[in-house]
Structure 1
Amino acid sequence: MRYSITSGMVLAAMTMTIGETVAGPTHAHLHRRAHDLQKKTDWNDASNYEGVDFAKAYAEGVASKASDVVAAVASPVVAAVAGQAAQVTASSAASSSTAKSSATSSASSSSPSSILTALWNDIIGASNARSSFGPGIAPVGTPGDNYFGNYGGTGDNYGSNVIMVDSIGDNDFTNTFKNTQSKAITVNVWNKVGPDYEVLSGSALAPTRTTLTFVLQPGASQIVAFQDISNIGWAEAVDEYTAASAFKTSWGEANFCSTGSGYDLSAINSDNTYQMTITSTQNAACTSDPTQNMWLTASDPVGSGDGSCYVPAGPMHLQTIMGGS
């Protein structure tokens, strides 16, 4: 789904391969800042992705590794530079009102009509029955801790930035979830901004009021599409909670942004026994799982990188394996 964004950002062309892992200290710093904010607001066990600006982290990560880039590479990659004054245009919202998908995708074995059965605790997300995106909402604030990205809108439009689709089609931002366990699971996907419109409440409200839920049978897959500038978290719905009422298990996290995106696995709220693997088509060299490019605590990443994977300006298509504990 092409969802154009009007932005005053300066673009810098960096010559490097997309497959190169871009890592540096930037995201680690933002990661700690996000958790420091949560502690001040009593969201001490909330998500590590909250307020993290992957576009900025990606750009600075590219800059920090520029000296290592080999001159003879395939093609330039345009990387986003810090600062984002994005505005969703009415015309692009209108043209993006319907998620385009081909008839049936072999990667998807679920459909909205079948997903409303056997959900964990019968929790139905705001977008469970949606088949098209809403108008979107203009981001508010400067990228960082208190940044409000696109969460679909208020009222009936809340969560309309996240929908299930039958195929990737021409959607720019997707995540294909696959259940490799021997049991059926409910996947819970939430916006950073919760349905109460608080900037960091999405994870804490996810077990009761969330954006999207769906059941995955053993071996089944489901594709979820996102609008631009969506700050997203997800987890298998479990019966154990943190002190902030969020799921006490490892989470997947992503910022979907046309100027630079990112993703990671976080075990900050758990004991790092959940086997989740997150990869992307655009940065196949960077996998986030319990052994690499993930967060174990608010200040300690696992692996040789800074705890996250980055994707340059353009689309991002993720693949997430939900392996269980």
Structure 2
Amino acid sequence: MMHDDQVPIDADLVRAMIVDHFPEYRDQPIERLRSTGTDNAIFRIGLGVAARFPLRAMKPAECAEMLRREAAAMTGFARHSPVATPRPLGLGQPGTAYPMPWLVQSWIEGEVATPNGLAASTPFALDIANLIAALRAAATHGRYFVGQGRGGNLPDHDDWMDVCFRNSEGLLDVTRLRRMWARLRDLPPSGSDVMSHRDLIPANLLVHGERLVGVLDAGSFGPADPALDLVAAWHLLDRDRREVVRSHLRSGDVEWKRGAAWAFQQAIGLVWYYERTNPGMSALGRSTLSRLLDDPDV
């Protein structure tokens, strides 16, 4: 279990719920996907469908509203993404053993990206840059960032960062990391909010060869700091390929460093929180922090 409030789910339970709520898929094989994802359990149903079950307990009505918002965001994201992305197909109802709604969506073929697999690939770096540029070009319709997550005001995360620093003693060079955050948190805004995926980590990107072919988990698509999606550069690319992204997007010094700040804020929490329950996600945090610490521009 990754979370204290995690709801258990397995293939047998999913099969029973599919039969009850989506009988058109009742004869399809069901397979739980191994993933470093932390918010949902994903099950493949046959060749063209996937079911997504939220892992953390919440009230059914709240979960249903969350999934409806995510489905709407996924639909909006698909209109602007230059690569494939899942389409929502239906909302499953709570059952006795799994007490929350869940989402059925289309399946996208591809291999899940890794922090180092395409780190030295210029075509992949350009695909990342083109994705970010395409999302930025989407209209915000007057909306702006709201909420407590990444994408707003950097100093709002000071309390969480302090928790992370304290829990990272013995795991990381906390003294050096505190100094880095002290510099990054004071960066001024770099521009008006733009439309963003808001979680461009390796687990949410699908590749084939050296090309980006799919984007997952677009349920948070919305307005945010224009630097937020730049986290992908530190999660996935070496220094030369990061420069490809920066040049293609014409990111100025402040915007680029704010992207580093958001990558830092995300990575520092991954190392200690998932050290035992999700080693792959913990390793991503270490990899990203290493790139940040080794980057003279940061």
Q: When the two structures are superposed, what TM-score results if normalisation uses the length of structure 1?
A: 0.27
Q: Which has the larger radius of gyration?
A: 2
Q: Which has the higher strand share?
A: 1
